[in-house]
Amino acid sequence: MSLPNVEKESTGEFRGNSRLTARLLSPEEPLFVEWLLARQKLVEDKGWNTPDGEYDRYDDNLRTKHLVLYDDTEKLIFGMRLTPVESYNQTLSWEMVRPSNIHTQVELNGLIDPAQSVWDLTRLTPGNNVPYRVSNEAIPRLFGEGLRQCIAEGDDDPTWIFTLDEKMAHWLKRQEVDFIELGQAALPGDTDASIFGSIKPAHLAELASRPHDGSKASDFAHRAMKDGEG
């Protein structure tokens, strides 16, 4: 999947603030409909072809973690999915980049073991009219909450796989978030490149266990691992 563009602040009205609460949703809950609609809007905005609709096999997977952040007004701010998969080449992210030469790049560079189990990070999705400053808080919070979910499932050092658009990749790099670029190419119909990559989010917990050193990496990690609301 391609992650949302967080480069520009929306000009729409935003009534909430950056006090965020994380929830773990399931498809049976009423709130899941709003989450699905937000994902559908992302898909339409990106121009992706989803002939079978936005609901997919990850939503039927009982081990999928639907992590969604809400503000004090119960507005959906940002969400993402994490799904455990036996290998990177069995993920939806891998399927997305199939029409490119990213598969060949990944197989040739050998930077990731196909026998290694991973978590597929998909549908990193904003709510409507979420300003940049709130997205700036929400994304690290989601990463931290996602790491906690993996640890709760017995994976203390998970590997996340995802497909990024260039804007999101550049944003993460500016935050000094350490991720590995496994392959890069423009998908059919796209003018910008997509980046297939991986991240070890446990590094965030390691950085957050140390005093804040003033770096962007330390700031992202401390925001990621902040417990509770805020």
- Cβ within 8 Å of residue 61, ≥6 positions away: 83
Distances (CA, A) of 15 to 72, 125, 133, 134: 10, 19, 13, 12
> Which among 126, 152, 140 has a CA at the least distance from the CA of 203?
140
- How many Å is the Cα radius of gyration of the chain? 17
Q: Which residue(s) pair with 180 in the sheet?
A: 198
pLDDT digits (tens, 9 = 90+) for 38-81: 999 988 887 776 667 799 999 999 999 999 999 999 999 999 99
For the residues 99-123, what does the mean pLDDT come to? Answer: 97
Residue 49's pLDDT is 66
Residue 132's pLDDT is 87
What is 21-224's CATH topology? Aminopeptidase (3.40.630)
For the residues 123-134, what does the mean pLDDT come to? Answer: 92
Residue 124's pLDDT is 93
Look up residue 156 and give its two tokens.
């203390």
* For the chain, percent of residues with pLDDT exceeding 70: 88
Is the pTM value of this prediction over 0.85? yes
Which residue, chain included where needed, has tokens 């670029």?
A: 181
CA 1 from chain center: how many Å? 9
Q: Provide the mean pLDDT of the chain.
A: 89
pLDDT for residue 136 is more than 60:
yes
For the residues 179-205, what does the mean pLDDT come to? Answer: 94
Beta strands 76-85; 65-70: pairing state: antiparallel
